Amino acid sequence: MKDPIVKEGVFTETELGIIGSALFFTYAVGKFANGFLADHCNIRKFLSMGLFVTAAVNLSLGYVHSFIFFAVLWGISGWFQSIGAPSCVVELSRWYEEKERGTFYGIWIISHNLGEGLTWILSTFIVAALGWRFGFLCSGMLGMLGVFIIWQFVHDTPESEGFPSVNKPKAQKNLSAEEATSIKKAQLAVLKNPAIWVLAISSAFMYFCRYAINSWGIFFLQNEKGYDLKEAGIILSINSIFGIIGTGFSGFISDKLFRGGRNVPALIAGLLDIIALMLFLLVPGHHLWIDVLAMIMFGTGIGVLICFLGGLMAVDIAPSNASGAALGVIGIASYVGAGIQDILSGLLIEGNKIMVNGSAHYDFTAISWCWIGAAILSTLVATFVWNYTGQKKLETQSINK
């Protein structure tokens, strides 16, 4: 939606970058706070509330033209969106044992890419036909449908439905004082664990490049490579479609082929993303097959990394009754990285714009290398915990005994 908004003169590139960062920063802090809260909450109620407020905000955004008001609403949306991921991870930890969690985590995290892919396809066609305001309106209506689905089909714990508990400390609906203290100790152990913070830094750089493409990819394809809005949306949707493949198989492959090890597939995925970004950003001209190939590679790699760096590796390390806290630490770092990216991208893109006869011309060289550099740093930092995940799991779990 960025290009139509800029061309209408509603907001500048820098203002759009600041607006985007407002969501990422509130999402970052919210994911941290809500990760800790989710360990204690009724997930059905918590998740429904978050999506309801998010949908309501989207329904109103198409009618807002004030930069400050838009940024504030977008930030509110970010906070309530941040309830989603930690709530789902806590739900997975409550319902599935560790030996099968990677497989189901990979299935769940498909939702990231499935939602993105549908967004690129649906929103670009809706915006092209009806204008950018209807993009927000339609997303809000779909969000309200999601609230209904959650309320009908999500259940808090196995015990609440008459099944035996999977993880005793986390499956209690009404926690005793002793159990609550155990959760607090486990959450404190997460905060003190250096490996989780290393993974958080790596994930921050990964989210920097992930949201660089998600936030500015269509804008880049339109203004650097000459695609129209629909073509650019379809190309970006390929990224999300192959992200589904990456996430869907990542947990299963690591569980079955690498005996729960995530490091080797994470490294392969990181290198794949670096190569993909170089193809996408550095090859000049309108080459459809190169851009499609780049999005296939990037989507597959990011899909794996969202699963591993974005949560599962930290959940593997963390005590079983502090999964929400682990995801909260990863989340705050990841979305701070995404927020910094949006501000920096907006500034560099507008700063390298030249107006010629009323038409904007952009030089994307600086921002391209910035995005590629973030992918390289993410891959390098992740190697610092190469041997940590497997050998430290039992040490962190011993805190609960």
Show the tokens assigned to 226: 């000459």
The Cα 8–Cα 377 span in angstroms is 37
Following DSSP, what letter does each residue of 63-75 receive, concatenated? T---HHHHHHHHH
Q: Are 332 and 340 in contact (CB under 8 A)?
A: no
The partner residues of 362 in beta bridges, in order of sequence, read 353
Q: Are 75 and 18 in contact (CB under 8 A)?
A: no
Structural domains present in the chain: 2-400 (1.20.1250.20)
pLDDT of residue 378: 94
Q: How far is CA 187 from CA 29, 38, 240, 334, 341, in A?
A: 16, 12, 33, 19, 29
pTM: 0.70
From the number of C-beta atoms within 10 Å of its C-beta (0-12, 13-18, 19+), residue 10 rates as middle
Residue 298, CA distances (Å) to 2, 200, 213, 223, 361 in order: 22, 20, 10, 20, 26
Residue for token pair 């759009």: 16
- Give residue-wise pLDDT tens across range 248-284: 777 667 767 766 667 788 888 999 999 999 999 999 8
CA distance 124 to 133: 12
Q: Which residues contact 340 (CB under 8 A, 6 or more apart)?
A: 21, 208
Closest to 295 in 3D by CA, of 250, 258, 240? 240
Q: Which of 214, 234, 252 is nearest to 371 (CA)?
A: 214
What single-letter DSSP state applies at residue 361?
Answer: E
Residue type, 35: G
**215-232 burial by CB neighbour count: b if 16+ within 10 A, else e?**
bbbbbbbbbbbebebebb
**Calpha distance 150→142 (Å, rounded):** 13
What string of pLDDT tens digits covers the 401 residues of the chain? 566 777 777 778 788 878 888 888 888 788 778 877 877 778 888 889 989 999 999 888 878 788 888 899 989 998 998 888 778 878 877 777 766 666 776 677 777 667 777 776 777 788 777 777 887 888 888 889 989 988 888 887 777 777 776 765 444 444 455 555 677 788 788 888 888 899 999 999 999 999 899 888 988 998 888 888 888 888 888 888 888 888 777 766 776 776 666 778 888 899 999 999 999 999 988 889 999 999 999 999 998 888 788 777 777 777 766 777 787 788 888 888 988 898 898 889 888 888 777 777 888 899 999 999 999 999 999 888 877 644 344 444 444 44
Q: Dump pLDDT digits (tens) for 111-129.
A: 766 777 777 677 778 877 7
Rounded Cα–Cα distance for residues 316 and 165 (Å) = 20
Neighbours of 59 (CB within 10 A): 17
Residue pair 36/322 in contact by the 8 Å Cβ criterion = no
Phi and psi at residue 361, to the nearest 5°: -125, 130
> What's the pLDDT at 303?
85
Note the pLDDT tens digit of each residue in 287-331: 899 999 999 999 999 988 887 887 777 777 777 667 777 877 888
**Confidence at residue 168, expressed as pLDDT on a 0 to 100 scale:** 54
